[in-house]
Structure 1
Amino acid sequence: MALRKGRTKSTLESSIDAALLAVEIYNKPRTPFRVEGFITQMIMAWTRLFHAHFNNTIGNRYYYKNENGRFRTIDGERKSWELKTCISKYGILDNGVKSNLSFFIKLRNKIEHRHIDRDEIGIMIFGECQSLLYNYENTLIELFGEDYALNESLSFSIQFSRIRKKTQIEASKKLLSKEIKELKSFIDNYRTSLSDEVFNKQEYSIKLIQVPKIANTSRSDLAIEFVNWNSLSEEDRESYERVTTIIKDKVLKKEAINPGKRKPSDVLKKVNSEIEFNITHYDHTCLYSCLKIRAAKGNDIDDPFDTNTNYCHYDEVHNDYVYQDAWAELIIKGIKDGSLTKPDWKAKFKNKEVINIKEIEGN
């Protein structure tokens, strides 16, 4: 669609400029407040995109009016629909797109009066940020055609390859301000509120796996390949899911955001209902310490996020640990087949020895 000069075209061009500026801000590692800058510019880009569409389809009826029929004004300027109202009036967005936009509208309102000059929030919401941009371009093309696609203008952000040491990560976490912790709590709660169907949509949050290409490929091939998840066969999906087991540092730690299913008392209740004697909280401490599923109690050196996520997760919001059903089941299995005995785990805990969890699992 080739637009003539006028309000629709100028508003659309302003929207595209805001989106490109958002990407520029996000991809400059030394830019201060880049997360806030990206979100603010993308909210502006989306709002102006809808305004361009409404101006092109319904004229100037996307401005608020008073009861007397006159336009509502702020500082002499007509007040137009904000993004939330635009989404409602447009009415045909995918649920994943709407959830993504709702997330950023709420997050923008929370960071508007805060100064977040750190990367922790940006790392947490990378997937949502990427989807916010992809959804914008897809909607831009749907509304105004391929002529306005941004893909020729955008580039991929280069990532540093060296992973931070555990001590650096831990020091960074201890410096988190109260305000950032509150934002992280909001992000956790928002994600938890979504259904699995919406949360797993690429339109809500892009899930990326970065794996170096080492096979013999054509020298003219692109260095990066994107795979459409929806077009994969079940067999191919299973193959890609197995690849995620390689990614330990970020993916598994992000899962620690979500609460597990059992508190320690629930684990004891489950185990004691299945065995012929009772175990105590002290026994539980011995077991999780010797089987190395989490940091030992009182150990301030180990990273609390470094857990065996098959059995245990660290809940940062509440600063405690929660356990999977599989953990209670493993203890029950070990006690019933004799590979776990109370005298043995107490002695090993006292001597700070390790019990090989693979042997318990394999028996």
Structure 2
Amino acid sequence: MMARPPRWQATLDASVEEACLAVRLYNDASESRSFEGFVIHMHLAWLYLLHAGFIRDGIDFRYWDTRYKHRLLKVEGEPKRWELERSAKERWPDRKDPVRANLSLFIRLRNRLEHRHAHADAALMLNLSGHAHALLINYEEELTSQFGDDYSLALRLRIPLFVGTFSPQGEQALRRFRKTLPTDLHGFVTEYESGLDEKTINDPRYEFRLRAAVELAPKDPEAIAVQFTKYDDMTESEREAVEEMGRRGQVIIRNKKQPVSGLGRLMPGAAAKEVEEGIPYVFKQHHFTEAWKRLKIRPATGSPQPHQTNTDFCEYDEPTNSYRYTRAYVKHLIKRCSTFQGFMEATGKEPEPKPACQTESS
């Protein structure tokens, strides 16, 4: 009679399945949102992996109702369990831990990716490829260190085939493509990394950077086609050789990011001007003011809680006691105010056609 599997087995199996699916999506160039799929399924893989460890170790990861001592919080009849952010905090209490910092980046990114930025998927993948590889490698390390080598993803995933070298034109094309990342997503990554110290940012567990070299040594029948050597395991002379390679040429480029205040944000006058350029009606700053009031985008001037804004559309700047607006809000206003009825609903005022434009008034 076969022994009953441990309580954590089903959760761990689900975790491994999610990780394998995430990698398949990442490597599938035909998927239009492959990077978003990778982020979502790696999120689930990590969640199930940490929960499996909690089950094994007898850690209660359910939420309890603080008002009643012995009552669990429930969602649709099931106990509410720790989300990934809370689980990561339990596993790595130090917020500066590079594994936790990498995981937190993708948790926040997942919340921003859902239902948005489909056109930016490929550019985002290129900009965050090192972070994505670190996310997967960290998962493999946690998986095997906690549950044994028999669970390694190496037994389930194939080495991907890829173009080993690019022409100078291809390299330049990739560099140009990196710059197509939408401003708000670029600002999101910049702002997140501005809160990390240099030691964490440069740790390969936060962002994995790989330099590839064609092996010219005689073939070893015991070796696999692609092998990985950690920098810490190299001799001093080997490290010097690798660093010299880095000075002569780059394969993967990582740009140092500096925090920029108000990156991609607009002041009211500039925002109103862009809206007017995109619609057939006159749209001035007083229209813009009426719109944020009626649509409840931000609190009224002088509010004791000025920071309570619609964060997708507006941000409060404490040092200047002013508000800055996102391009997403400008696009929202352009879409709404392009019709007579939409303009009326957004501003409460009857639209005035531009002199050169003839529009229907109904």
TM superposition score normalised by structure 1: 0.62
Whether the 8 Å contact between 2:63 and 2:80 is mirrored in structure 1 is yes
Whether the 8 Å contact between 1:3 and 1:9 is mirrored in structure 2 is no
Which among 115, 118, 122 is matched to residue 119 of structure 1?
Answer: 122
Provide the C-alpha distance between the structure 1 equivalents of 2:171 and 2:6, rounded to a whole number of angstroms. 55
Which amino acid is the alignment partner of residue 196 of structure 2?
L
State the partner residue of 1:311: none
SS in 2 for 1:63: coil
Provide the C-alpha distance between the structure 2 equivalents of 1:110 and 1:233, rounded to a whole number of angstroms. 42
State the partner residue of 2:73: 72
Q: Does 1:55 align with 2:42?
A: no
Are residues 166 and 106 of structure 1, via their aligned partners in 2, closer, same or farther at CA, if it must alter by over 3 Å? Answer: same
- Deviation of 1:258 after TM superposition, in Å, equals 4.9
Provide the C-alpha distance between the structure 2 equivalents of 1:248 and 1:34, rounded to a whole number of angstroms. 26
Whether the 8 Å contact between 1:95 and 1:198 is mirrored in structure 2 is yes
Provide the C-alpha distance between the structure 2 equivalents of 1:195 and 1:234, rounded to a whole number of angstroms. 26
SS in 1 for 2:30: coil
State the partner residue of 1:90: 91
Q: Give CA-to-partner distance per residue, 1:288-323, whole Å, 9 cap, x none.
A: xxxxxxxxxxxxxxxxxxxxxxxxxxxxxxxxxxxx
Provide the C-alpha distance between the structure 1 equivalents of 2:220 and 2:145, rounded to a whole number of angstroms. 34
Whether the 8 Å contact between 2:92 and 2:100 is mirrored in structure 1 is no
- Equivalences for 1:324-363 in 2 at 5 Å? none
- Equivalences for 1:190-339 in 2 at 5 Å? 190-218=192-220, 221-248=223-250, 250-251=252-253, 254-255=254-255, 257-258=257-258
Q: Does 1:134 align with 2:137?
A: yes
SS in 2 for 1:226: coil
Give me the CA root mean square deviation: 2.9
State the partner residue of 1:34: 34
- Deviation of 1:28 after TM superposition, in Å, equals 0.9
- Deviation of 1:257 after TM superposition, in Å, equals 4.5
State the partner residue of 2:16: 16
Are residues 7 and 172 of structure 1, via their aligned partners in 2, closer, same or farther at CA, if it must alter by over 3 Å? Answer: same
State the partner residue of 1:291: none
Provide the C-alpha distance between the structure 1 equivalents of 2:227 and 2:23, rounded to a whole number of angstroms. 20
Whether the 8 Å contact between 1:33 and 1:115 is mirrored in structure 2 is no
Which amino acid is the alignment partner of residue 185 of structure 1?
G
Provide the C-alpha distance between the structure 1 equivalents of 2:3 and 2:97, rounded to a whole number of angstroms. 29
State the partner residue of 2:269: none
Q: Which moved more, 1:158-167 or 1:237-246?
A: 158-167
- Deviation of 1:9 after TM superposition, in Å, equals 1.1
SS in 2 for 1:255: coil
Are residues 53 and 106 of structure 1, via their aligned partners in 2, closer, same or farther at CA, if it must alter by over 3 Å? Answer: same
- Deviation of 1:84 after TM superposition, in Å, equals 0.9
Provide the C-alpha distance between the structure 1 equivalents of 2:140 and 2:89, rounded to a whole number of angstroms. 19
> How many equivalent pairs are there?
253
Provide the C-alpha distance between the structure 1 equivalents of 2:5 and 2:222, rounded to a whole number of angstroms. 41
- Deviation of 1:75 after TM superposition, in Å, equals 2.5
- Deviation of 1:20 after TM superposition, in Å, equals 0.8
Gap regions ≥5 residues in structure 2 = 261-362
- Deviation of 1:13 after TM superposition, in Å, equals 0.7
Whether the 8 Å contact between 1:128 and 1:206 is mirrored in structure 2 is yes
Matched-pair identity in %: 28
Whether the 8 Å contact between 2:210 and 2:252 is mirrored in structure 1 is no
TM superposition score normalised by structure 2: 0.62
Provide the C-alpha distance between the structure 1 equivalents of 2:3 and 2:211, rounded to a whole number of angstroms. 39
State the partner residue of 2:297: none
Whether the 8 Å contact between 2:15 and 2:48 is mirrored in structure 1 is yes
Are residues 90 and 218 of structure 1, via their aligned partners in 2, closer, same or farther at CA, if it must alter by over 3 Å? Answer: closer
Are residues 167 and 209 of structure 1, via their aligned partners in 2, closer, same or farther at CA, if it must alter by over 3 Å? Answer: closer
